[in-house]
């Protein structure tokens, strides 16, 4: 039963893109917290009073307590969700439009997960099943011969296991791997290095 519950929780976590939802509220004419550091892929939930909204502004406007918006996220009066797609890596400055002059403002710092950028090319590498219980397969296709290394690392980037030592491959690659016995459950990254260029794929170990 315990394993079943863990499986359901991690599956749900995985299917939602490992997303964490951070809550921002207000106390009178102040956002709380007014400064927040989150990971790329996380989202925001503004739970604020109906007299307040939140709009993204430039740092210059933010510094002067102005309210001229930029192309970015906008939260309606009374609150709402800011999706991960609107929160690129970097610092996002925002204000409450009618109360910016009073200093009602905040900032969101979005960082790459543990300093690791998960590249768009990750979709070229298939990992299945995912979540993983004891065995999984990796498959991808190379149009030309390249030097390859595949490693399993934890979410902090610490090496957990070398799956494929340095070797040259081309064409279709398909190989199965067994997890180490007693390996801790959680989120890991498969790091595939091709000619010194790393690519990452998220995987959940049950």
| 17-111 and 115-205 in the same fold | yes
85, 2, 10, 9: which is closest to 42 by C-alpha? 85
d(CA 131, CA 79): 34
At residue 161's C-alpha, the angle toward residues 157 and 163, to 5°, is: 115
Give 155's Cβ-side CA count (13 Å radius).
11
Q: What is the pTM of this model?
A: 0.51
Contact 59, 131 (CB under 8 A): no
CATH architecture for the domain at 17-111:
Sandwich (2.60)
Would you list the domain boundaries of the chain? Answer: 17-111, 115-205
The tens place of each residue's pLDDT in the chain, 206 residues long, gives 444 444 444 444 443 444 678 899 999 999 999 998 887 778 899 999 999 999 999 999 999 999 999 989 999 999 999 988 888 888 999 999 999 999 999 999 887 665 444 444 434 678 888 888 889 998 888 888 889 999 999 887 889 999 999 999 888 888 999 988 888 888 888 988 888 888 888 888 88
Domain at 115-205: CATH code: 2.60.40.1930
- Provide the b/e sequence for 117-147 (b: ≥16 CB within 10 Å): ebeeebeebebeebbbeeebebebeeeeeee
pLDDT by residue (tens digit) across 33-64?
999 888 777 889 999 999 999 999 999 999 99
Which pair of tokens denotes residue 168?
């040259």
């Amino acid at each position: 039963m315990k394993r079943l519950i863990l499986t359901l929780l991690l599956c749900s976590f995985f299917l939602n893109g490992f997303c964490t939802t951070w809550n921002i509220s207000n106390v009178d004419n102040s956002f709380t917290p007014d400064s927040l550091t989150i990971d790329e892929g996380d989202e925001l939930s503004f739970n604020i009073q109906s007299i307040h909204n939140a709009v993204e502004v430039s740092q210059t406007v933010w510094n002067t307590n102005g309210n001229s918006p930029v192309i970015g996220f906008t939260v309606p009066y009374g609150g709402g969700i800011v999706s991960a797609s609107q929160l690129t890596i970097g610092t996002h400055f925002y204000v409450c439009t009618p109360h910016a002059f009073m200093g009602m403002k905040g900032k969101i710092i979005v960082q790459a997960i543990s300093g690791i950028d998960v590249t768009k090319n990750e979709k070229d590498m298939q990992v299945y099943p995912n979540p993983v219980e004891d065995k999984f397969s990796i498959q991808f296709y190379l149009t030309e011969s390249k030097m390859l290394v595949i490693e399993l690392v934890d979410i902090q980037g610490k090496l957990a296991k070398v799956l494929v030592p340095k070797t040259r491959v081309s064409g279709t690659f398909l190989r199965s791997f067994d997890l180490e016995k007693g390996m801790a459950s959680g989120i890991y990254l498969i790091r595939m290095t091709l000619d010194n260029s790393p690519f990452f794929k998220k995987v959940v170990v049950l």
